[in-house]
Amino acid sequence: MKQLLSLTALGLALCLGSAHAADTDAAAPTKQQSKMATCNKEATGMKGDERKGFMKTCLSNKPATQQAKMKSCNADATGKKGDERKAFMSECLKK
């Protein structure tokens, strides 16, 4: 009887521990999930191979190539002209 009671208590403790771990995981995004969200925002406006290449570079730990940065900044600078665009591109490419 004591063994059965001990096993039941152990099973209950394991179930409660698993439920708590699941709640904790759902509340806080992982580092990879955060990185994915950031890269998705930065890839707005890109399509096809351009987006695929950008996402691959963005999600890896390697810094973006100058060409990828230029494409991204260029897309973000849509609608800006003259000195405003020049200043924006300068700041964007420094990041």
Assess if residue 84 is contained within a domain.
yes
Give the residue from 40, 34, 42 showing the smallest Cα distance to 71.
Answer: 42
pLDDT at 61 over 60: yes
Task: Name the residue range of residue 78's domain.
Answer: 43-94
Q: How confident is the model at residue 27 (pLDDT cuts 50, 70, 90)?
A: confident
Evaluate if pTM is beyond 0.75: no
How far is it, in rounded angstroms, from Cα 50 to Cα 55?
A: 9
Assess if residue 62 is contained within a domain.
yes
Count how many domains the chain has.
Answer: 1
Q: How confident is the model at residue 8 (pLDDT cuts 50, 70, 90)?
A: low
Q: Output DSSP code: residue 65.
A: P
Q: Output DSSP code: residue 64.
A: P
Q: How confident is the model at residue 4 (pLDDT cuts 50, 70, 90)?
A: low
**Please, where are the H alpha helices in the chain?**
2-27, 31-42, 48-59, 66-76, 82-94
